[in-house]
Structure 1
Amino acid sequence: MEEIKNYIESGILEMYVAGALSEKENREVYQMMLQHPEILQEVLEIESAVVKLTASVAPTDQITSFSTIRERLIDGGNNSKVISINKPKYNWVTYTGWAASIVLAGGLLWTLSLNKTLENDIKVAETQQELLETQIEKSKNSLTEAHTLISVLRDDNITQVPLAGQGNFASTYAKVYWDKTKQLIFLDAQGLPEPPEGKVYQVWSLTLAPLTPTSLGTIDSFTTDENKIFEIENANESEAFGITLEPAGGSETPTMEQLYTLGVVES
C-alpha cells in the first residue's frame, strides 16, 4: 500500500488528467487504474476537482461540460488565469502554461478511498447472487420478466461487475449484469438505501483512458420498484460502473461527494 500511496502522491495522476503525459505514460496510468481501484478513485476525484475549480473561476455559460473543460485546459495559452494556493494536497510537479495554473489550484475538499479486500468483494458477490435468486423466486412480475432474470443469472456470457461501497457509504453495494450482445445491463440495486426526497440515483459508465464518465440515466422508480432490479441500455465500451446520488433530473457529471458504489470491469 505504501507503493500505491507514493504513486498517488507523485503527481502523475494530475498530469494524466491534464493530458500532459506521453502515450506510453498514459498507458501505464491506465493499467494502474485497472489493477488498483484506489488509483481509479483518486483520478475520479481529481477530475471532479478540476470541474469544480474551473466552474468557480469562470462564468457558468462558458463551461457546460467536462469535455469543454478538457478542451479549454488543453488549448490553454497565454490567457490562462493563474490561481495561487497555500496548501496543495499533492506534491505537484512544475507544469507549463495552463497546467501550472489550473491543475495545481484548488485542492480537493473530500477524500474517498476504496478499501475493500478480495474477501469482502467475494462476500458481496455471494450476497448479491443470493439476493437476485430470492428476488426472482418472489417476483410478482410477468413470467417473461422472470425468465429474463433467470437467463441473465445463468448465462456464462453475461459479465458480472460487483460495485463496492465508497467512503462514507462503505456499507452500500450493487451489482451489474452486462449483456454486451444486447447492449443491456441489469442493475441489482438492493444494497442501496432509499434516496432522500428530491434526490435520485444516477448510473455511470466509465472509460479509463482517458477517464470519461457517461450517464446511463437516473433510477426514477427506485422507491416504487419492489425488486430493485433495473434494465438499462448500455451501448458503451464500459470499463467501470459507478452510482452517485444526484438532484432530481440528474447531473451532467458525477457528484463525487455522493459516489455510493464503484466497480471495475475485469478484463
Structure 2
Amino acid sequence: MNSKEYIASGILELYVAGSLSEKENEEVSVAIQQNLDLQTEVASIEKAIVQLTAFTKKDSSYSFDTIKKQLELKDTKVISLQKEKSNWKMYTGWAASLVLGTTLVLSVLNTTSLKDQLASNSLEKDLLKAKIDSTANTLTNTKKLLAILRDKEVISVTLNGQSVAPKAYAKVYWNQSEKAIYLDAKGLPDPPKGKVYQVWSLKLNPLTPKSLGTLDSFTADTNKIFTIKNANNSEAFGITLEPEGGSITPTLEQLYTLGAVS
C-alpha cells in the first residue's frame, strides 16, 4: 500500500502505542525507515502525545475543548528508530503508557463536562421552580395585603416628608384588632451605609415616642412593605434615620416622615 493508505489504516498509532506484535513492529519499523512521509507521521503522533500529556499535567482546569484547540501539531525532527530490541520494548512501553494516560484524561474530561452540563440543567430547573414558588407566594401575599387594606376596620395614616427629606413619604395601615401595622415605605430612599430606618409610635401630649423596631431588610426588600407589631394606643407614627442597631430615643434631626392618626 502507498503512504496515504498506510497512514489512513491506523497502524502507525498502534505502532507508537506498542500494541502490535513483535513481527508487526519490525515490519512497520522497516516501512517507516524507508518512507519519509511515514517518518513524519510517526513524529507527529509522538509530538501530539507529549503535548497533550504536558497540558494535562500543567493545569488541571483545562477543559476538553481547550486541549483540543491547543493541540496544534508542528514540524518536528524525525526520531531514529534504529534501536536495540531491549530499548524498543522500553520505548513502546513508554508510548503505550502515554496513550493510555491520554485516553483516560480525555475520558475524565468528557465525563466531567457531561456532569457539569447535567448539574447546570438541574440548577436551572431548581431556579425556575424557586421563581415559580416565589411568584406564587407573592400573589398570595398580595391578595392578603389587599384584603387587609380593604378591611373597613383598618386605619390609614399618611406619613409626609419632613425638612431633612421633603420628598419622602410612607403610609401606615393600622389593624387595631390584630395589634399590627402594615408599613408601606416605598417612598423612602435607601439608607446610607451604617444607617437604618427606625419606626416610632407616638403619643402627642406629652410627646412620648416608643420604638416599633428597625427596618433592617429595607434595602433587600423589593416591595418595601413591612408587617410590624403595635400594641400601643398610637396617636401618630414617625420614621427616623438611626445608626445600625437603632436608638433608644428618636433623632429628631433625622426625622424623615411623620403622620398623625385622624
**TM-score for both structures, normalised by structure 1:** 0.47
Question: Which gives a bigger RCO, structure 1 or 2 (Cα 8 Å, sep 6+)?
Answer: 1
**TM-score for both structures, normalised by structure 2:** 0.48
